């Protein structure tokens, strides 16, 4: 434990992030002196490629850790001295811990999503899952779904090469599970056959409303999960719930990544339920 924790978040367009509030409230409840700062690349007039210089400076300034978000999660893979094996397999870093001057990269997004699946969708079938969106969040959800034993995972993205690349990466780590990229022509059929549907595109966010696929295609009893968490009740979540599907909103993943980050940074045991209640009251 440190006497005082200085932590930050590097990304673009993050000035309204709820992550500082989540960390600081829970750290205070744990009796820690903890300060969480936002380093918005746009505000700082920096480019994504400047993340390395910002990390080096944070290290010099005595930061305990730095969360990393869009668009730097992949860039940071090559900038750390040591990579957690899951972060390496998944191919993205959202947490850098400064340990005796060394940079250690982790990914807590997938842990947050995994924990959310287990707690928020108990008994969910992972027989046949379809995921729409294969960017940063999608890499974490795919890794979590396969770690939870998804027997078949169909991966869709308007950018076909993203679905193909993620499929290839996941296949190399989960060789006994079926992982397939699905082109635009196959999305409807994949959704209608799935026992679970995961949405991981930015559609449905406050300033980006809409739904990425036809919700009425989802078969009866199948579960639906959204990574978007602002708002918590996206149009997808609202319509899926109205159709009677078990739903998991993006809040669990958001809280779960903060919970796991705080635990790794401090070595303390945060109270997940308290964090969840606090987040939902924000
Ligand atoms: P990203 O840009 O890395 O990836 C988005 C992907 O979606 C891209 O590959 C894009 O081609 C694809 N896409 C866009 N529109 C599509 C459509 N209509 N159909 C199919 N594919 C489409 O973005 P990201 O960092 O993965 O973020 C995605 C969302 O996830 C954002 O809303 C972000 O806020 C959210 N997110 C949530 C959490 C959480 O903890 N809940 C964590 C990370 C990101």
Say what the pLDDT of residue 3 is.
Answer: 87
Closest CA to 93 of 67, 113, 112: 67
Q: Considering only CA atoms, which residue is closest to atom 29 of ligand 1?
A: 202
In a domain, 116, yes or no: no
Q: What is the DSSP string of 56-70?
A: HHHHHTT-SEEEE-T
State whether 129 and 241 are in the same domain.
yes
Q: Considering only CA atoms, which residue is closest to atom 9 of ligand 1?
A: 135
| Dist. CA 115–CA 173, nearest whole Å | 20
State whether 191 and 264 are in the same domain.
no
The finding on whether 212 has its CB within 6 A of some atom of ligand 1 is: yes
CB 224 within 8 A of CB 247: yes
pLDDT in tens, 70-117: 999 999 999 999 999 999 999 999 999 999 999 999 999 999 999 999
In a domain, 71, yes or no: yes
Count of domains observed in the chain = 2
| Dist. CA 9–CA 66, nearest whole Å | 6
Mean pLDDT across the stretch 31-41? 98
CB 236 within 8 A of CB 226: yes
In a domain, 50, yes or no: yes
CATH number where 181 lies: 3.40.50.720
Mean pLDDT across the stretch 140-149? 98
Say what the pLDDT of residue 113 is.
Answer: 98
**pLDDT category, 181, cuts 50, 70, 90?**
very high
In a domain, 37, yes or no: yes
Q: Considering only CA atoms, which residue is closest to atom 40 of ligand 1?
A: 254
In a domain, 145, yes or no: yes
Taking the CA of residue 149 as centre, how many other CA atoms within 13 Å lie in the half-sphere pointing to its CB?
Answer: 7
In a domain, 119, yes or no: no
In a domain, 93, yes or no: yes
Chain center to CA of 43 = 23
Alpha helices in 123-234 (DSSP H): 136-147, 160-173, 187-193
List the domain range (segments joined by +) for residue 179: 125-245
State whether 268 and 215 are in the same domain.
no
* pLDDT value at 44 more than 90: yes
Radius of gyration of the chain from its Cα atoms, rounded to whole angstroms: 18
Say what the pLDDT of residue 1 is.
Answer: 72
State whether 70 and 137 are in the same domain.
no
State whether 166 and 197 are in the same domain.
yes
State whether 218 and 180 are in the same domain.
yes
46 classed as catalytic: no
Vertex 75: Cα angle to 73 and 80 (nearest 5): 95
CB 48 within 8 A of CB 74: no
* pLDDT value at 58 more than 80: yes
pLDDT in tens, 186-216: 999 999 999 999 999 999 998 899 999 999 9
State whether 188 and 145 are in the same domain.
yes
* pLDDT value at 227 more than 80: yes
For tokens 């397939």, the residue is: 180
pLDDT in tens, 127-137: 999 999 999 99
| Cβ-count burial 205-234 (b if 16+ within 10 Å, e if not) | eeeeeebbbebebbeeebbbbbbbbebeeb
Compute the distance from residue 136 Cα to the ligand 1 centre, in Å: 7
Compute the distance from residue 60 Cα to the ligand 1 centre, in Å: 33
Mean pLDDT score of the chain: 97
The finding on whether 250 has its CB within 6 A of some atom of ligand 1 is: yes
In a domain, 29, yes or no: yes
* pLDDT value at 158 more than 90: yes
State whether 190 and 267 are in the same domain.
no
Say what the pLDDT of residue 100 is.
Answer: 95
CATH number where 76 lies: 3.40.50.10860
């Amino acid at each position: 434990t440190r006497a005082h924790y200085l932590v930050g978040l590097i990304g673009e367009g993050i000035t309204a992030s709820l992550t500082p509030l989540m960390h600081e409230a829970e750290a205070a409840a744990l009796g820690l002196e903890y300060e969480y700062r936002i380093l918005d690349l746009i505000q700082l007039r920096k480019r994504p490629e400047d993340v390395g210089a910002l990390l080096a400076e944070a290290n010099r300034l005595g930061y305990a850790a730095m969360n990393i978000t869009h668009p730097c999660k992949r860039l940071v893979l090559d900038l750390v001295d040591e990579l957690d094996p899951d972060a390496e397999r998944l191919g993205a870093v959202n947490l850098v811990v400064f340990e005796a001057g060394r940079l250690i990269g982790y990914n807590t997004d997938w842990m947050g999503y995994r924990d959310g699946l287990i707690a928020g969708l108990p008994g969910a079938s992972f027989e046949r899952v379809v995921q729409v969106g294969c960017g940063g969040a999608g890499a974490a959800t795919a890794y979590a779904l396969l770690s939870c034993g998804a027997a078949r995972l169909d991966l869709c993205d308007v950018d076909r090469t993203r679905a193909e690349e993620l499929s290839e990466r996941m296949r190399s780590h989960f060789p006994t599970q079926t992982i397939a990229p699905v082109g635009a022509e196959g999305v409807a059929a994949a959704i209608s056959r799935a026992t679970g549907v995961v949405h991981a595109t930015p559609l449905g966010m406050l300033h980006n409303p809409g739904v990425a696929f036809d919700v009425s295609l989802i078969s009866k009893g199948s579960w639906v999960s959204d990574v978007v968490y602002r708002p918590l009740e996206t149009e997808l979540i609202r319509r899926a719930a109205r159709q009677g599907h078990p739903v998991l909103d993006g809040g669990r993943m958001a809280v779960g990544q903060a919970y796991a980050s705080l635990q790794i940074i401090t070595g303390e045991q945060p109270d997940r339920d308290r964090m969840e209640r606090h987040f939902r009251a924000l």
